Amino acid sequence: MNNKELVTELSHRLGKTQKQVQAMLDITTEALVSTLQAETTVSVQGFGSFEVRKKLDRVLINPTTKQKMVVPPKLSLIFKMGSTYKNKLKNLTTRGK
């Protein structure tokens, strides 16, 4: 599902226009990003939690040239799914795959 499909689906379910739904999504994502930039965990009860973790720098060795390279530290976004939806997904059967 892409952004356009999500906006369309939410507008049908909420009875709002697509512009209103897009504005709500924009505000929600801005709030998430600003909270995560402050390195605070965002938890949505039942759904899951978002957390920023810092990965330390590390040394890699190119197997062919044996040259060492330093990979700089970076921030990673981690999502932990809540137990409610995790159990719902476990109970799904495969759809003809």
How high is the pLDDT of residue 39? 80
Residue in the block written with tokens 């890699």: 60
Are the CB atoms for 58 and 71 separated by under 8 Å?
Answer: yes
CA distance 4 to 63: 44
How high is the pLDDT of residue 96? 47
How high is the pLDDT of residue 46? 83
DSSP symbol at 28: H
CATH architecture of 3-40+50-90: Irregular (4.10)
pTM for the model: 0.66
pLDDT tens for each residue of 31-85: 999 999 888 899 988 889 999 999 999 999 999 999 999 999 998 999 999 888 8
CA distance 38 to 41: 9
CA distance 54 to 67: 25
How high is the pLDDT of residue 77? 92
